[in-house]
Structure 1
Amino acid sequence: MSVAAIIGGGVIGGGWAARFLAAGWDVRVFDPDPEAGRKLDEVLANARRAAPGLSAVSGPAEGKLSLHGTISEAVAGAAWVQESVPERLELKRKVFQQIQAHGDPEAVIGSSTSGFRPSQLQGCATRAGQIMVAHPFNPVYLLPLVELVTTDANPAPLVACAKDILSEIGMKPLHLRREIDAHIADRLMEAVWREGLWLVKDGIASTEEIDDAIRFGFGLRWAQMGLFETFRIAGGEAGMRHFIAQFGPCLEWPWTKLMDVPDLTDELVETIADQSDAQSGAHSIRELERIRDSNLVAIMRALKWADWGVGALLNEQDRRRAPDLSQADLARPIRTMELTVPLDWTDYNGHMNEARYLETFSRASDRFMEMVGVDADYVATGGSYFTTETHLRHLGEARAGDPIRVETTLLEGGGKKMHLFQELYHAGDGRLLATGEHMLLHVSLETRRTSPPADGVAARLAEIAAHHAKLPPPDDAGRGIGAAR
């Protein structure tokens, strides 16, 4: 079991802990705050509530969390040490000295710093090459970007190791080979922040109006295409060159106060704070965190459907985590689907909506089809299976956060037919939650009529059907609505 040590268990450190735990790592946390345990539990509760909605497959079993009274206890044997202490350079250097005195010399030591350069952090270090910036974004357990900033002191194999680990836990490492104050993203955010402060100070807009300008406008474009790709489209068919030719001269106009910072007088601070209270004060910080997380998951799942941006990253992670059905034991029903019930799959009754049962069985059917060779490449050649009839039975409740699995039995796989019987179980306590029976027919996508499957698909179906014919027939196969067996 891999071990990560988190030094500083606040909002960012707690988010790192949640990210590593969800990836199956054991996590050791050091934080001198007597409230650290409570605060960490609240961050983990948010993560466990929201993060399952990002994955279409079940992740590894959550790692073990432990809190430690000293840095030396926390870092012993850890392969990754993440420093997330307050932004004071001398404090960070002192922490690094303690980490290196007691930790593994081969471990990656990452800093969550949003502003310091790695060369500053490496000063006075026993082994400068161990230390690098790994700057995440809040909430760390949902947002995958991490700015990995290194220097010539960092050996290439250790940098490669860091990238591999970050990718393994579902993050997107953005490697800056040239250090700069505040890295990339914070510099961009600060530019917008400066403009926002001036707009409030000059009485042009309130905090809510500025936020509305972002969340109802360009923020939606940025969420899926970023800055330059968005502007490329704005240039029309001529692309970026036309956009720059048309709007480039505007950069010389007095639109911005980018290089000026308004004085943060007591009056300006009170104005901003009062407007912020009026805008969002009806919700506690924890409530706002949960609202934020739910919205992020919904946006990121939409991008999964488009297979774009962060959605493409999440889809790739799902593919890595999906079980290899080519090695499935054909002497028993095939486990075709494992996942955790996402938050938005529940309805007003507090349990999984009936449509999601069908979606789960549909995903399991797709996985079975891939197993017999009906994958994207096969469909591209013009063949597929269409579902002609489905019968579902709802036998138990599943709630948000419940682990579930589907086991699939092939009742018939000859000719044009694929007759499946599927059972949905609670993966924790083993309860049978639902059954689904499905008749599918092979179809030519050119004629939209039934057709025989390719020889390889037919042979694989026949092989599985021969094995499954030896299983006891499911009691409820062929059952009609309300009909007792």
Structure 2
Amino acid sequence: MTKKMTAAIIGGGVIGGGWAARFLLNGWDVRIFDPDPEAQRKIGEVLDNARHALPMLYDYAMPAEGALTFHETVAETVAGADWIQESVPERLDIKHKVYAEIQGACDAAAIIGSSTSGYKPSELQEGAARLGQIMVCHPFNPVYLLPLIEVVATDASDTATVDRAAEMLTAVGLYPLRVRKEIDAHIADRFLEAVWREALWLVKDGIATTEEIDNAIRYGFGIRWAQMGLFETYRVAGGEAGMKHFIDQFGPCLKWPWTKLMDVPELTDELAQMIADQSDAQSGHLTIRQLERKRDGNLIAMMRALKQQGNASGRLLNEHEKTMRPTLEAGVPMLSLRRTIPVDWTDVNGHMNEGRYGQIFSDASEEVMAYVGADDAYIAGGMSYFTVETTTKYLAETHAGEAVEVHSRVTEGKGKKLRCLHEMRRASDGEVMATCDQFMLHVSLETRRTCEPSPDVAARVEALAAAHQGADT
């Protein structure tokens, strides 16, 4: 039996709450310590957003949610935990005090990760009882959606411990980027700081408003960066001659006085108020929670597009999703699919569009095909089933974020024929939301014409049809 994993979250603000959601929704038990009397409410709101958003990234249902508990002391929170994530305020004296409490009560084999965006791990380890147990594991908001975690260790860190930390992060769908050498602010925040400095000058000098700067990013290079990063983007910009040509052509520009990256405007009350006023005009009509929902929906849509292409964060999602694919079991009917409806499957009416019903029933039939032996290896060998006719009935509206199940029954299975009756049901109450009668024929992928299936596939199809004959769904 797989060991039940436990995460302890020390500090339950925006980042700590995001960590809690990431672990909890991947089936871990989560314990939280935060002295803020409003901590349970605040973390509850973060969890509400995460429960709505994260399952929409995947084409299979996520694991059963773990148990969430709040505790009065650090010692009680960390006792027996496999992973301990510190997300307390960015003050070294506070962090050192917290580490002393943690190491006085936690298992010696537990990972202690810090969410710090600026401190180096050697600074965090100062005075610690076990130096190598503490490492930087710096996330990005929202932690429950964005996969990047900057992992920074020191010479005092045991390589096997860092390897184990990376494996545990990967197991919950994160991407551990191991920083080769410790440096202030790690990698990503150094880029963000450079852009932030330049943006402050552009606002101060009256060149652009906060909204215009945001538009320059989201309508242009921000989209390129989301799927290609920096260097790959510029490699393409170099054309057929590649990166060397790009550097030769644009390298001299680095000597031009385009930016003020080595300087920063004084954040006077006047400049701070100007930025605040422009930001209010830009998005003050939305609450923070509404902005978070908007952000999450946009991230889901973009990451799912990358998922379909198998690039960047989408490739990571595909790998993580493989760990969620259940083994289909015989039943009458068969539970062929469990998943959450993603936001990019909805139309102008606010519910799932017709084409996505075809998608979900197609996915269910592929699970049935795999069960009878017409799996990926079989298809790679040159044979498969093609759908030639479907009849779909839409019985109830289906909305983004709803968890659904597909129950399938083989109503005909002999020779080249395979017919399935699918019912899509709302997982919460079992209401039938749509049905699909799907008729498929076995084909040769070489000739693209019908042919007899292999004897073992034919036998499994016939056995399944016999088992399902006359059964009520």
| Same structural fold, with TM-score higher than 0.5 when normalized by the shorter chain | yes
Q: Do the aligned partners of residues 248 and 349 (structure 1) sit closer, same or farther apart at CA in structure 2, a change above 3 Å counting?
A: closer
CA distance in 1, matches of 2:372, 2:191: 48
| Equivalent AA in structure 1 for residue 360 of structure 2 | T
- What is the deviation of 1:135? 0.4
- What is the deviation of 1:350? 6.3
| Equivalent AA in structure 2 for residue 122 of structure 1 | Q
Contact in 2 for aligned 1:332/1:468 (Cα 8 Å): no
Contact in 2 for aligned 1:333/1:468 (Cα 8 Å): no
CA distance in 1, matches of 2:341, 2:392: 18
Matched, 1:414 2:414: yes
Matched, 1:463 2:466: no
- What is the deviation of 1:277? 1.1
CA distance in 2, matches of 1:26, 1:227: 37
3-state SS of 2:84 partner: strand
Q: Deviations over 1:127-162 (max 9, x none)?
A: 111100000000000001100111121112211211
CA distance in 2, matches of 1:255, 1:31: 45
Q: TM-score, normalised on structure 2?
A: 0.94
Q: Greater CA deviation, 195-204 or 367-376?
A: 367-376
1:23-34 equivalence runs, <5 A: 23-34=26-37
Match for residue 69 of structure 1 among 72, 75, 91: 72
Q: Deviations over 1:191-245 (max 9, x none)?
A: 1111111111111111111111100000000001100111111111121111111
Q: TM-score, normalised on structure 1?
A: 0.92
CA distance in 2, matches of 1:144, 1:470: 44
Contact in 2 for aligned 1:199/1:205 (Cα 8 Å): yes
3-state SS of 2:141 partner: coil
- What is the deviation of 1:271? 1.4
Matched, 1:452 2:455: no
Aligned to 2:123: 120
Contact in 2 for aligned 1:413/1:462 (Cα 8 Å): no
CA distance in 2, matches of 1:26, 1:464: 41
Aligned to 1:110: 113
CA RMSD of aligned residues (A): 2.0
Contact in 2 for aligned 1:49/1:343 (Cα 8 Å): no
3-state SS of 1:470 partner: helix
Aligned to 1:480: none
1:253-402 equivalence runs, <5 A: 253-325=256-328, 328-329=329-330, 332-345=332-345, 352-396=352-396, 398-402=398-402
3-state SS of 2:265 partner: coil
Aligned to 2:243: 240
Q: Greater CA deviation, 115-124 or 174-183?
A: 174-183
Contact in 1 for aligned 2:410/2:464 (Cα 8 Å): no
3-state SS of 1:321 partner: coil
3-state SS of 2:257 partner: coil
Q: Deviations over 1:360-396 (max 9, x none)?
A: 1111112222334444454455443221111233455
Q: Do the aligned partners of residues 460 and 444 (structure 1) sit closer, same or farther apart at CA in structure 2, a change above 3 Å counting?
A: closer
Q: How many residues align?
A: 470
CA distance in 2, matches of 1:241, 1:344: 39
CA distance in 1, matches of 2:49, 2:30: 17
- What is the deviation of 1:121? 0.2
Q: Deviations over 1:241-299 (max 9, x none)?
A: 11111111111111111111111112211111111111111111111111111110111
- What is the deviation of 1:49? 1.4
CA distance in 2, matches of 1:77, 1:148: 23
| Equivalent AA in structure 1 for residue 118 of structure 2 | G
Q: Do the aligned partners of residues 372 and 245 (structure 1) sit closer, same or farther apart at CA in structure 2, a change above 3 Å counting?
A: farther
Aligned to 1:435: 435
Aligned to 1:49: 52
Q: Greater CA deviation, 69-78 or 432-441?
A: 432-441
Aligned to 1:188: 191
Q: Deviations over 1:395-424 (max 9, x none)?
A: 555544433222322233332222112233
Aligned to 1:158: 161
Structure 1, unpaired ranges of 5+: 477-485
Q: Do the aligned partners of residues 435 and 306 (structure 1) sit closer, same or farther apart at CA in structure 2, a change above 3 Å counting?
A: same
- What is the deviation of 1:111? 0.3
Contact in 1 for aligned 2:307/2:317 (Cα 8 Å): yes
| Equivalent AA in structure 2 for residue 388 of structure 1 | V
3-state SS of 2:169 partner: helix
Q: Greater CA deviation, 244-253 or 437-446?
A: 437-446
Aligned to 2:234: 231
Aligned to 2:200: 197
- What is the deviation of 1:7? 0.5
Aligned to 1:483: none
1:78-93 equivalence runs, <5 A: 78-93=81-96
Q: Do the aligned partners of residues 409 and 475 (structure 1) sit closer, same or farther apart at CA in structure 2, a change above 3 Å counting?
A: closer
| Equivalent AA in structure 2 for residue 187 of structure 1 | R
CA distance in 2, matches of 1:49, 1:432: 21
CA distance in 2, matches of 1:350, 1:204: 39
- What is the deviation of 1:469? 0.4
3-state SS of 1:419 partner: strand
Contact in 1 for aligned 2:78/2:106 (Cα 8 Å): yes
Aligned to 2:219: 216
3-state SS of 2:36 partner: coil
Q: Deviations over 1:77-104 (max 9, x none)?
A: 1111100011001101110100111111
- What is the deviation of 1:474? 4.3
Matched, 1:175 2:175: no
CA distance in 2, matches of 1:131, 1:211: 36
